[in-house]
C-alpha cells in the first residue's frame, strides 16, 4: 500500500471555481483537495478547459489543476488523460500526472465512468441527486437519458465504491436510488473564512441572492417578491450576485416587473466584494429548487445574515435550523411572507443572525478534510467501515 503521506488523489470534476459557471460544488472540491495537499497528499483536479484559463497550473495551495475538453467532452478527455498518464504518453496526460493512487469521481448529474476505464480505487462524490434539474434544464428526451444514467447506470457501476455526500438529505436520496447506506459517508462543507473588515447593514431594506444564474436557482422568485414588497417598502433593493447564462432572461423579467431600478446584477464578485454584500444585506434568499448543502446559506450565516429557503430543496434543511438561524418555506406565498416578516422585524433579524453566526462556526474545512482523509485511507486499503458511520459530521 502506498504510504499515507505520498498518495496521489485525482479529482475528476466538471468545472473549477474560476469557470464562469463554477459554484459551491467546485468550492467544496478545491477546498478538500487543498486540505489533502496540506496533509501531505498530492492533489490533482482534472476539469474542463475554458477561455482564458491555462491548460495546467499549480496554485499556492499545492493543488494542480489540469484542464482538458469542453462542457461535454471533458468526460472523454478525463479517460484519455488518465490512460495517457498511466502509460507515460506525454503532453496529453499533463505534466507529471502519472498514475494516481485513488480517483474521486464527482457526479454532477453525469459521472465520469472512471470505474470502467481506471483500475484504481474510486470514491463516488455526489453533492445531490439531480432528479428535478434534468426536467428544468433539458428537453424531455435528454432529461430522461440523463436521469437514467444518474439513477440507474451510475448506481450499478459504482455499487462497490464508497460514496461521499454533503448532507443527510442527499444520503437519503442516494439510498432511495439503491446505493447501500453503509457505503455513504456524509462530509459537510466547511464555512469559508470572512475576507475583509466588518461592514454596517444598509440603511434601506436589502435582499441578496448569491449564486450561479441558471434556471434551477429560481431567482425569478426573488424578483417577484421584490416587486410585490416594494409596493409597501419603496426603498427595497435586491442584489443578484453571480453570473451565468440565465442572466439575460432575469434582467428582462426585472424590467417587465418594473423593478429594474431596484435590482442590481453584479456579475462575478470577488471574495472581498462577497464579504461586503453578506455583511450589508438584511436577508439572504435561496429560492433554488435543489441544493446538496447550501454553502451560500452558511456563508451568509457566518456574517450574521439569516436566510430564507425552500424545505423541498434538500440539503438546505441542514444548512438552516428552521426558526433559529433562518426560515424554511413550502411555497412561493410562504416565501413572500417569510421575507416580508424579516424585513419588518429588526429584532428577529438580529436574533436569528446571532444564532446563525454561532451555527456556522460548527462547520470547518479542517473537520471536513479529516473525515475525507479517513475515507481515502479506507478506500486505498479496500476497507469499508460499517455500522454507525462515526466519521459522519454531526450537525452542531
What are the tens digits of pLDDT across the range 60-87? 999 999 999 988 899 999 988 888 766 6
Q: Where in the chain is the domain with CATH 3.40.50.2000?
A: 4-190+364-381, 206-360
Closest by CA to 46, choosing from 71, 20, 15, is 15
Mean pLDDT of 3-12: 79
Q: Percent of the chain, pLDDT > 90?
A: 71
> Was domain 4-190+364-381 assigned CATH 3.40.50.10860?
no
Q: Could you give the CA distance from residue 161 to residue 182 in angstroms, rounded to a whole number?
A: 11
Q: Which CATH number fits domain 206-360: 3.40.50.170, 3.40.50.880, 3.40.50.2000, 3.40.50.2300?
A: 3.40.50.2000
Q: Give me the mean pLDDT over the 310-328 stretch.
A: 95
Which pLDDT belongs to residue 90? 55
Pairwise CA distance, residues 260 & 253, whole Å: 9
Average pLDDT over the chain, rounded to an integer:
90
Exposed, middle or buried by CB within 10 Å (0-12, 13-18, 19+), for 139? exposed
Q: How far apart are CA 248 and CA 296, in angstroms?
A: 22
Angstrom distance (rounded) from CA 376 to CA 37: 13
Q: Which residue has the cell 464578485?
A: 269
Residue 197 CA from chain centroid, whole number? 25
378-389 mean pLDDT: 65
Which residue is listed with cell 462543507? 189
Q: Looking at residues 32-47, what average pLDDT do you find?
A: 94
The whole-number pLDDT of residue 396 equals 60
Cβ-proximal residues to 360 (8 Å cutoff; 6+ apart), any chain: 191, 298, 299, 301, 302
Could you tell me the pTM of the whole model? Answer: 0.83
- Residues ≥6 apart with Cβ < 8 Å to 270: none
What pLDDT score does 56 carry?
A: 92
Predicted local distance difference test score (pLDDT) of residue 25:
85
Using the predicted structure, report yes or no on whether residue 357 has a pLDDT greater than 50: yes
Measured N-to-C along each axis, helices 219-229 and 247-256 cross at an angle, to the nearest 10 degrees, of: 20
**What is the pLDDT at residue 387?**
38
Do 281 and 209 touch, CB atoms closer than 8 A? no
Backbone angles phi, psi at 193, to 5 degrees: -70, 145
Q: What is the pLDDT of residue 81?
A: 83
Average pLDDT of the segment spanning 351-367: 95
Q: Cα–Cα distance between 120 and 8 in angstroms, integer?
A: 11
- The 3-class SS string of the chain reads CCCHHHCEEEEECCCCCCCCCCCHHHHHHHHHHHHHHHCCCEEEEEECCCCCCCCEEECCCCCEEEECCCCCCHHHHHHHHHHHHHHCCCHHHCCCCCCCCEEEEECECECCCHHHHCCCCEEEECCCCCHHHHHHHCCHHHHHHHHHHHHHHHHHHCCCCCEEECCHHHHHHHHHHCCCHHHEEECCCCCCCCCCCCCCCCCCCEEEEECCCCHHHCHHHHHHHHHHHCCCCCCCEEEEEECCCCHHHHHHHHHHCCCHHHEEEEECCCHHHHHHHHHHCCEEEECCCCECCCHHHHHHHHCCCCEEEEHHHECHHHHCCECCCEEEECCHHHHHHHHHHHHHCHHHHHHHHHHHHHHHCCCCHHHHHHHHHHHHHHHHHCCCCCCCCCCCCCCC
**What does the alpha-carbon distance between residue 74 and residue 48 come to, in Å, rounded to a whole number?**
5
95: pLDDT confidence band, cut at 50, 70 and 90? low
Of 130-134, 174-178, 223-227, 381-385, the least confident: 381-385
Residue 2: pLDDT band (50, 70, 90) is very low
pLDDT digits (tens, 9 = 90+) for 104-150: 999 988 999 999 999 899 999 999 888 877 877 778 888 899 889 99
Cell 471555481 maps to which residue? 17
Q: What is the pLDDT of residues 288-307, one digit of tens each?
A: 998 989 899 999 999 999 99
Range from 246-250, 252-256, 260-264, 312-316 carrying the lowest mean pLDDT: 312-316
- Average of pLDDT values for 195-208? 92
Q: Is the pLDDT of residue 94 over 60?
A: no
Give me the long-range contacts of 173-182 (CB less than 8 A, separation at least 24).
Answer: 173/128, 173/129, 173/131, 173/314, 174/126, 174/129, 177/129, 177/151, 179/155, 182/384, 182/386, 182/387, 182/389
Whole-angstrom distance, CA of residue 171 vs CA of residue 179? 9
Q: Identify whether the C-beta of residue 269 lies closer than 8 Å to the C-beta of residue 244.
A: no
Is 90 exceeded by the pLDDT of residue 97? no
Amino acid at each position: 500500500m502506498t504510504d499515507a503521506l505520498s498518495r496521489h488523489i485525482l479529482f475528476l470534476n466538471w468545472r473549477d471555481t474560476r469557470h464562469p459557471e463554477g459554484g459551491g460544488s467546485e468550492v467544496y472540491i478545491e477546498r478538500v483537495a487543498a486540505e489533502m495537499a496540506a496533509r501531505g497528499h498530492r492533489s490533482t483536479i482534472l476539469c474542463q478547459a475554458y477561455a482564458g484559463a491555462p491548460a495546467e497550473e499549480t496554485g499556492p495551495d499545492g493543488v494542480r489543476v489540469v484542464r482538458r475538453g469542453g462542457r461535454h467532452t471533458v468526460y472523454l478527455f478525463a479517460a484519455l488523460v488518465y490512460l495517457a498518464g498511466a502509460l507515460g504518453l506525454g503532453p496529453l496526460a499533463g505534466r507529471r500526472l502519472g498514475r494516481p493512487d485513488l480517483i474521486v469521481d464527482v457526479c454532477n448529474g453525469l459521472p465520469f465512468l472512471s470505474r470502467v476505464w481506471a483500475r484504481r480505487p474510486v470514491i463516488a462524490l455526489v453533492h445531490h441527486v439531480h432528479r428535478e434539474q434534468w426536467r428544468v434544464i433539458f428537453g424531455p428526451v435528454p432529461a430522461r437519458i440523463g436521469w437514467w444514467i444518474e439513477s440507474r447506470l451510475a448506481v450499478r457501476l459504482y455499487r462497490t465504491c464508497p460514496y461521499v455526500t454533503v448532507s443527510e438529505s442527499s444520503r437519503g436520496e442516494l439510498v432511495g436510488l439503491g446505493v447501500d447506506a453503509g457505503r455513504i459517508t456524509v462530509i459537510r462543507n466547511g464555512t469559508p473564512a470572512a475576507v475583509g473588515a466588518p461592514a454596517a447593514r444598509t440603511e434601506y431594506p436589502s435582499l441578496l441572492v448569491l449564486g450561479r444564474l441558471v434556471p434551477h436557482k429560481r431567482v425569478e422568485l426573488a424578483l417577484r417578491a421584490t416587486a410585490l414588497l416594494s409596493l409597501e417598502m419603496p426603498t427595497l433593493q435586491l442584489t443578484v450576485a453571480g453570473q451565468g447564462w440565465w442572466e439575460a432572461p432575469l434582467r428582462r423579467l426585472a424590467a417587465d416587473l418594473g423593478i429594474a431600478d431596484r435590482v442590481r446584477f453584479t456579475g462575478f464578485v470577488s471574495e472581498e466584494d462577497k464579504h461586503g454584500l453578506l455583511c450589508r444585506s438584511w436577508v439572504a434568499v435561496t429560492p433554488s429548487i435543489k441544493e446538496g448543502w447550501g454553502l451560500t446559506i452558511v456563508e451568509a450565516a457566518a456574517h450574521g445574515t439569516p436566510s430564507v429557503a425552500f424545505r423541498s430543496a434538500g440539503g438546505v434543511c441542514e444548512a438552516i435550523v428552521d426558526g433559529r438561524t433562518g426560515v424554511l418555506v413550502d411555497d412561493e406565498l410562504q416565501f413572500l411572507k417569510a421575507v416580508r416578516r424579516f424585513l419588518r422585524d429588526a429584532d428577529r433579524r438580529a436574533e436569528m443572525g446571532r444564532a446563525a453566526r454561532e451555527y456556522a462556526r460548527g462547520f470547518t474545512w479542517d473537520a471536513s478534510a479529516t473525515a475525507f482523509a479517513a475515507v481515502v485511507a479506507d478506500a486505498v486499503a479496500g476497507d469499508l467501515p460499517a455500522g454507525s458511520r462515526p466519521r459522519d459530521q454531526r450537525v452542531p
